Structure 1
Amino acid sequence: MLRSLLLYTALVFGANAAFAGAIDFEAAKANGLAKLVETEPTDLPDTVFLDADGNEVRLSDYQGKAILLNFWATWCAPCREEMPALDELQGELGGDEFQVLTVATGRNAREAIDKFYAETGVEHLPILTDARQQLARDMGVLGLPVTVLISPEGQEVARLPGDADWASDAAKQVIRELTAP
């Protein structure tokens, strides 16, 4: 009986460790992402936001990809510090399995976004906007910047309020864990 219980326990914990997207939050926090908070897997709102051409976009359009969703604004000083690292992360790890989405929320004129991208050297990130802040509100964003990690299954799994070094080894490891098969 005890042997069966031990075997069952080992299988349960072993199986949990084998789930795709298992993030080692303690390691992430210890290695530089101190503000990263694990959340209960939560379905995302199907709120419309816009791409650079004014086309409607939804988070569900990215189903099957892990997403690092960053809410920012052109007037936000911490966003200015963080954006080059987000761009580097997208340049290095972005592709079929992972995408960094940076959504300018609130009043951010296209000219101001273009200037912001040029001044900060952003080359790999799409221009996405949430002028009425509906997506930000639906996702409970209260300040900027805020970054939300989304699993390939389309659920929020973690959140980081404030800025972070998303080009750090710790951040890249989190993304590798999130996209692991």
Structure 2
Amino acid sequence: MPFKPSRPVFAAIAIVAVAAGLAAVYVTERGAVESGGGRCAVAAAKAATLKPLATGDLAALLPADVPADLSDLVLRTADGGERRLADFAGQTLVLNMWATWCVPCRTEMPHLQALQEKRGGPDFSVVALNVDVGGPDKPTRFLNDIGATSLVDLRDPEMRTFNDLKTRGLVLGLPTTFVVDRSGCALASLAGPAKWDSPAALALIDAAAKPDETQSGKP
């Protein structure tokens, strides 16, 4: 039985019109979570450390009790090539799902670009996953027009990834953003826009990207 949405923040979400005929999906109070846990169960401890940081501009962020495994996602590059989220192993990610027709997405994008400029590097990237149906020109033009050219630009032109995550109960509408650890486990999710370059957001990203003892080689 699905959980009910936990906050009224979803009123600000642009619901995907082309998916309106599909079955309803709910975001749980536990954030990006799937039953069973699997290999991402070990990431629950890191997710728990993010709960006190879900404040200010990120008050709607939902850290996961049992993080979902996103490493198996198959994405597309702007030129039609294939890339998997597992290719980013070793990097902490902010994975943002957006579309050019989504007004909150367009408002949020400059903040994601600013986050990439402030924190982007070998250990961290902002991945902008566009779900516009059709050719690549429109999202490319939009990103260029607003100067968001530092983001990892990936696409979901047939909405396969969006619908997969929707079926798994991990996404309701757009924008949706996941904080993903170095192994591809979703530590937290946020439905709706946020100022991802705010002090609250930077503190949370720094905490998420900090290696734990097993990653840093400590006993």
Shorter chain as denominator, the TM-score bin is 0.7 to 0.9
Out of 18, 35, 44, the residue aligned to residue 60 of structure 2 is: 35
**Residue 153 in structure 1 maps to residue 178 in structure 2:** no
- Higher RCO, 1 or 2 (CA under 8 Å, sep at least 6)? 1
In structure 2, the partner of 1:115 is: 141
Out of 147, 159, 165, the residue aligned to residue 195 of structure 2 is: 165
Q: Per-residue displacement from partner, 1:2-57 (whole Å, max 9, x unpaired)?
A: xxxxxxxxxxxxxxxxx76764323332x221110011222125232111221101
In structure 2, the partner of 1:176 is: 206
Cα gap change, 1:51 to 1:131, in 2 (>3 Å) = same
Name the CA distance, whole Å, in 2 between partners of 1:95 and 1:174: 17
Q: Per-residue displacement from partner, 1:109-154 (whole Å, max 9, x unpaired)?
A: 3221122113322121132110111111222322100001111122
Q: Is the 8 A contact 2:54 2:61 kept in 1?
A: yes
5 Å-filtered alignment, 1:26-175, equals 26-29=52-55, 31-39=56-64, 40-44=66-70, 46-107=72-133, 109-140=135-166, 141-175=171-205
Gap regions ≥5 residues in structure 1: 1-18
Give the paired residue count. Answer: 162
Q: Secondary structure at the match of 1:32?
A: helix
The answer to which of 43-52 and 93-102 deviates more is 43-52
Name the CA distance, whole Å, in 2 between partners of 1:59 and 1:68: 12
For the aligned residues, what is the CA RMSD?
A: 1.8
Q: Is the 8 A contact 2:54 2:60 kept in 1?
A: no
2:175 partner amino acid: P
Q: Secondary structure at the match of 1:167?
A: coil
Q: Secondary structure at the match of 2:58?
A: coil
Q: Is the 8 A contact 1:71 1:146 kept in 2?
A: yes
Gap regions ≥5 residues in structure 2: 1-44, 212-219
Q: Is the 8 A contact 1:67 1:99 kept in 2?
A: yes
Q: Per-residue displacement from partner, 1:143-168 (whole Å, max 9, x unpaired)?
A: 10000111112211100000000011
Question: How much identity, in percent, do the aligned residues show?
Answer: 38
TM-score, length-normalised on structure 2? 0.69
Name the CA distance, whole Å, in 2 between partners of 1:132 and 1:49: 10
1:42 partner amino acid: A
Name the CA distance, whole Å, in 2 between partners of 1:142 and 1:118: 27
Q: Secondary structure at the match of 2:53?
A: helix
Name the CA distance, whole Å, in 1 between partners of 2:154 and 2:190: 20
**Residue 24 in structure 1 maps to residue 50 in structure 2:** yes
